[in-house]
Amino acid sequence: MAGMTTYIIRRLLFMIPVFLGVSILTFVISNAAGDPIALIRQGLRSVPPEVLEALRAYYHIDKPLYVRYLYWLWNILHFDLGRSISGTPVIDKMGAWVLTTLELQIPALILAVIIGIPIGVYSAQHQYSKSDVLITSFALFGYSMPTFWLGLMMIIVFSLHLGWLPHGGAAGIIRIWWGSEFADRIAHLIMPLLVLTYVQLATFVRLMRGNMLQVLREDYVLASRACGLKERTVIYKHALRNAITPIVTILGLSFGSSLAGAPALETAFNWPGLGYQFVVATFSLDIPMIVGITVVITIMLMVASLLTDLIYAMLDPRVRLG
Partner 1 sequence: MQRETKTESVAPSKRDVVDVRRRGASQWAVAWRRFKRNKAGLAGFFIILFYFFIALTSPWLAPYPPRSFQALYEGEAGQPPSWKHPFGTSRAGLDVYSEVLHGTRGDLYVGVGATLVSIAIGMIIGALAGYSRGTGSDILLMLSQVFYTIPLLPLILLFARVFSVLVAKGFGLTLILILLGVFGWSTISFIVRGEILRVRELDFVQASRALGASRWQIIFRHIIPNILTPVIVTATLLIAGNILTEVVISFLGFGDVNTSTWGITIEEGITYMRTEWWTPVFPGLATLFAVLGFNLVGDGLSDALNPRLRD
- Which chain residues interact with partner 1 by CB under 8 A? 14, 17-18, 21-22, 25-26, 29-30, 32-34, 140-141, 143-146, 148-149, 152-153, 155-156, 160-161, 256, 259-261, 263-264, 267, 275, 278-279, 282-283, 285, 290, 293-294, 297-298, 301-302, 305
What's the sign of the alpha-carbon dihedral 111, 210, 129, 134?
positive
Nearer to partner 1 by Cβ, of 29 and 106: the residue is 29
Phi, psi of 161 (to 5 degrees): -100, -50
Question: Shortest distance, CB of residue 25 to partner 1, whole angstroms?
Answer: 7
Q: Which of 296, 313, 286 has its CA nearest to residue 10?
A: 313
Question: Shortest distance, CB of residue 182 to partner 1, whole angstroms?
Answer: 28
CB 225 within 8 A of CB 136: no
Question: Shortest distance, CB of residue 144 to partner 1, whole angstroms?
Answer: 4
Question: Shortest distance, CB of residue 47 to partner 1, whole angstroms?
Answer: 21
Nearer to partner 1 by Cβ, of 172 and 210: the residue is 210
Can you tell me the distance from the alpha carbon of 168 to that of 146, in angstroms, rounded to the nearest whole number? 18
Nearer to partner 1 by Cβ, of 235 and 290: the residue is 290
* Residue 246 exposure: Cα atoms within 13 Å on the Cβ side: 15
Nearer to partner 1 by Cβ, of 93 and 224: the residue is 93
Question: Shortest distance, CB of residue 211 to partner 1, whole angstroms?
Answer: 14
Question: Shortest distance, CB of residue 49 to partner 1, whole angstroms?
Answer: 27
Q: Which runs of consecutive H residues, i.e. helices, occur in the chain?
A: 2-32, 36-41, 49-59, 65-77, 90-125, 130-144, 147-154, 181-216, 219-226, 231-232, 240-260, 262-268, 274-283, 287-315, 317-321
Nearer to partner 1 by Cβ, of 105 and 224: the residue is 105
Nearer to partner 1 by Cβ, of 73 and 285: the residue is 285
Nearer to partner 1 by Cβ, of 224 and 268: the residue is 268
Q: Say how many C-beta atoms besides its own lie within 10 A of residue 49's C-beta.
A: 8
Nearer to partner 1 by Cβ, of 37 and 229: the residue is 37
Question: Shortest distance, CB of residue 57 to partner 1, whole angstroms?
Answer: 25
Name the burial class of residue 179, with classes exposed (0-12), middle (13-18) and buried (19+) by CB atoms within 10 angstroms of its CB.
exposed
Q: Which DSSP symbol is given to 89?
A: B
For every residue of 161-230, DSSP letters joined together read IS--S-SSSSS-SSS-TTSSHHHHHHHHHHHHHHHHHHHHHHHHHHHHHHHHHHHHTSHHHHHHHHTT--
Can you tell me the distance from the alpha carbon of 166 to that of 118, in angstroms, rounded to the nearest whole number? 31
Question: Shortest distance, CB of residue 15 to partner 1, whole angstroms?
Answer: 9
